[in-house]
Amino acid sequence: MTEGGTAATIEVSSAQTFQEWRGWGGTFNEQGWVALQALSPEDRERALGLLFDANDGIGFDWGRIPIGPSD
């Protein structure tokens, strides 16, 4: 990364790797659950599919659920 002004230039090289990529995902909290529960079962299934389905959605591999306060 090159410093300077209000912009940064980032160069990505596939020639060198530093760690193995095992997937990606998001965090799900109480408010997300409340929002999902407000949907019909069909719409809830569609919403989860858009998150986790690799073909029809964004293909999350992981979902983190906090236990206790998350803020």
Looking at the domain assignment, is residue 16 inside a domain?
A: no
| Integer-rounded Cα radius of gyration of the chain | 18
- Please give the pLDDT value at position 7: 74
Instruction: Please report which confidence band the pLDDT of residue 71 belongs to, taking 50, 70 and 90 as the band edges.
Output: low
CA 61 from centre of chain: 8
12 within a domain of the structure (yes/no): no
**Per-residue pLDDT, 47:** 93
pTM check: above 0.85:
no
20 within a domain of the structure (yes/no): no
Element (H, E) at 49: helix 41-52
In a domain, 21, yes or no: no
Task: Tally the domains of the chain.
Answer: 1
62 found inside a domain: yes
CB burial readout 6-20, b (16+ within 10 A) else e: eeeeeeeeeeeeeee
Domain-embedded: residue 14: no
